[in-house]
Structure 1
Amino acid sequence: MQAWRVHRNGEPGEVMRLEEVERPVPGQGQTRLRVRAANINFPDALLCRGHYQVRPPLPFTPGVEICGETEDGRRVIATPALPYGGLAEYVVADAAAVLPAPEALDDAEAAALNIGYQTGWFGLHRRARLQAGETLLVHAAAGGVGSAAVQLGKAAGATVIGVAGGPGKARVARELGCDVVIDRRTDDIAAAVKEATGGRGADVVYDPVGGDAYTSSTKCVAFEGRIVVVGFAGGVVPAPALNHALVKNYSIMGLHWGLYHAKDPAAVLRCHQELTELAERGAIKPLISERVPMKGAADAVQRVADGTTTGRVVVIPEGGTR
């Protein structure tokens, strides 16, 4: 089978190589899946660089999220078990973590439902307890993680303020349904949020960026607001001033979705059921900006790493999508 493999750490476009390899053999409690579509996530770039919290042995195949097909023909979504990642024709995955793909979504959309939307659901509902009528501020609103949070926030009845970089991404954020869009390249984020909320600020902040985005959030978070820290795509891990959180009376919350698989797997199943229902109602639908063939995977991972893409870029193996 074909699989992209990384033999040394570095930039994805430099270290990923398309090779012919043997199909992976499932271990205890695992199942083998044919890949129908593989969604590219920022962690795939971090894996290539050797900067992710999980460091699979070299060589490995990136790709942490797929829509696949079981041997008996069922369409499913899964997070492949590294080192056999999703940028390949076949993967292995823990059988307990394989979920049915929603019928309302095609393969590329289903491949993008798992990590970003589960992260958004747990971040907004389990951690921040977002309520209808509250104001949600989403950084990187046109990206894969941010676009999921925008849709989930709108589905929950929140007023959503999206932050994006440049006119093109701002247009995508508007099309996603953001009530207010802020261009971080030209606007003062904190001032714009305060203006949009009559001085109150954002009740919930969803931050997959870190760095300056986090700093701006602390300046415009509302009384008893909640800042959900999802990741650091901007490359800078902030060091929060806890005295500031004390004086302004806001909460800083971390969200590591992967822990729920170990600590509360039943909650992951409940989340998937709710996401499936939202997809069936048309309340959420992953934004797929590109569907690329297998040969274009390395370039696609590099572009996601560089932050030049919007929504999700999905790799489709030959004959992969329905």
Structure 2
Amino acid sequence: MRAMQVTAYDAPLSMQELEMPISAAGEVLVKIDTCGMNFADTLMIKGTYQEKPPLPFAVGMEVCGTVKAVGEGVSDLQSGQRVAAYVGSGGLAEYAAIPAKACVPIPDEMSAVDAAAFLIAYGTSHVALDYKAKMQPGERLLVLGASGGVGLTAVELGKVMGAEVIACARGREKLEVCRAAGADHLIDSETDDIREIVKGLGGADVVYDPVGGDQFKAAMRACNSEARLLPLGFASGDVPQIPANILLVKNLTVMGLYWGGYAKIRPSVLTDSFKTLIDWYVAGKIKPHVSNVVPLDQANDALDLLRTRKATGKVVVRVS
């Protein structure tokens, strides 16, 4: 089979011919149709992500495909079934042996492109806003990095969950994408004063932040009492240092979220979230925004779209 692999850190991926994997006990062999790309993939290529697979390896954390073989002990999946899965790495390959418990059957209504763009982005936002922040209808949600892969789903889910949504992104073109996703208010991170605008709107009750840096600091100072802040990543490259005195005075709560970690510590959090999200998809309440779909041999171009912030929503690689 073909796979686009990392053979050296901080270098372009290269196409390799590999042996076909075999599904062991508890696994299924999946023919991968599509792979959703994430900013974390670019960090993994640099060797700076919190998980560091041994070289060589293929990036690609979320996939959609068809079950081709079932390992011993697997009873709830069968050959020919369409599934999506969070795999952590290995998605930029034509086949993968995946633990059956990591696979989510997908409905006929969901395309392979939508399925590959679904799990991490929507899963991260839903777990953050529902399970962690316990956001309530009528609360005011500030989404930083709102035009990105996870940020745009936070805007969309925020509206579905009844929040008043403030979207912060770079440039008017990206902000219009946020408006189309349901944002009530728009902030241009290049030119606008985040703190003053949010305070003028009445302050934030929940802050969703995959950016970090100065934007996190401004958002914190625009929070209402008892607000919840969710640092999800640091796309700015700056991990903010949180002043405890502000947490104390405003009774703020900062909640870290590493969505993938729940696959190990409490997988029911993810599976329960997936059930809700798939129901919302089938009901037409949510729809992934995919700005680019590229073939496997152009996976380096897909990653460049993420590095240069040229994509809006998700970037998907069509593997086969």
- Smaller-chain TM-score bracket: over 0.9
What are the residue-to-residue correspondences of 1:44-63 with 2, within 5 Å? Answer: 44-63=41-60
Q: Distance in 2 between matches of 1:62 and 1:263?
A: 23
For residue 139 of structure 2, what is the aligned residue in structure 1? Answer: 134
Task: Give the direction of change, closer, same or farther, for the CA distance of 1:155–1:81 in structure 2 (3 Å limit).
Answer: closer
Tell me what 1:80 maps to. Answer: 87
Report if aligned partners of 1:34, 1:91 keep a CA contact under 8 Å in 2.
yes
Consecutive unaligned residues of structure 2, counting only runs of 5 or more, are 69-78
Could you give the per-residue CA deviations for residues 239-281 of structure 1, whole angstroms, max 9, x where no partner exists? 1011111112211111111222222222222111100111111
Which residue identity lines up with residue 129 of structure 1 in the other structure?
Answer: K
Q: CA deviation at 1:304?
A: 0.7
Alignment counterpart, residue 177 of structure 1, candidates 169, 179, 182? 182
Deviation at 1:81, TM superposition (A): 5.7
Partner of 1:227: 229
Matched, 1:311 2:289: no
Query: Equivalents in 1 of 2:58, 2:228: separation in Å?
Result: 36
Aligned-residue CA RMSD (Å)? 1.3
CA distance in 1, matches of 2:107, 2:221: 40
Letter aligned with residue 63 of structure 2: I
TM-superposed CA distance for 1:108, in Å, is 0.8
Assess if the C-alpha contact under 8 Å between 2:21 and 2:95 holds in 1. Answer: yes
* Residues 14-57 of structure 1: CA deviation (Å, up to 9, x unaligned): 42101222222334422211111100011111110001111111
Q: Answer yes or no: is 1:263 the counterpart of 2:265.
A: yes
1:295 aligns with 2:271: no
Aligned equivalents of 1:81, 1:107: Cα separation in 2: 18
- How far has the Cα of 1:140 moved from its partner? 0.9
Give the aligned partner of residue 115 of structure 1. 120
Q: Which residue of 2 aligns with 1:157?
A: 162
- Residues 14-25 of structure 1: pairs in structure 2 closer than 5 A: 14-25=11-22
Question: Is the 1:79–1:93 contact (alpha carbons within 8 Å) kept by the matching residues of 2?
Answer: no
Letter in structure 2 aligned against 1:279: Y
Question: Which residue is equivalent to 2:71?
Answer: none
Structure 1: gaps (5+ residues): none
> Is 1:5–1:59's contact at 8 Å kept on the other side of the alignment?
yes
Paired residues for 1:6-17 under 5 Å: 6-10=6-10, 14-17=11-14
Q: Aligned to 2:255, what secondary structure does the other structure show? A: strand
Structure 1 CA distance for aligned equivalents of residues 93 and 25 of structure 2: 21
Cα deviation digits, residues 175-228 of structure 1 (max 9, x gap): 11100010011110111112222xxx0110000111111111111111111101
Contact 1:105–1:285 under 8 Å retained in 2: no
Q: 2:101, 2:195 → 1: CA distance?
A: 43
Contact map agreement 2:127 2:269 (CA 8 A) in 1: no
| Equivalent position of 2:209 in the other structure | 207
Identity %: 41
Instruction: Give the partner amino acid of 1:277.
Output: D
The one-letter code sitting in structure 2 at the alignment partner of 1:31 is V
Equivalent pair of 2:231/2:257 in contact (CA under 8 Å): yes
Q: Which amino acid aligns with 1:263?
A: I
How many Å separate the matches in 2 of 1:196 and 1:107? 39
SS at match of 2:206: strand
Amino acid at match of 1:16: L
Change (3 A) 1:164 1:81: closer
Cross-structure match for 2:75: none
Q: What is aligned with 1:277?
A: 279
Cα deviation for residue 229 of structure 1 reads 1.0
- Check conservation: 2:87, 2:102, Cα contact below 8 A: no
Q: For residues 127 and 226 of structure 1, what CA distance do their matches in structure 2 show?
A: 9
Change (3 A) 1:81 1:140: closer
Normalised TM-score (structure 2): 0.94
- What is the distance in 2 between the residues matched to 1:45 and 1:32? 26
Residues in 1 aligned to 2:115 and 2:223: alpha-carbon distance in whole angstroms: 33
Aligned-partner residue type, residue 111 of structure 1: A
- Residue identity matched to 2:171: G
Higher deviation after alignment, 221-230 or 25-34: 25-34
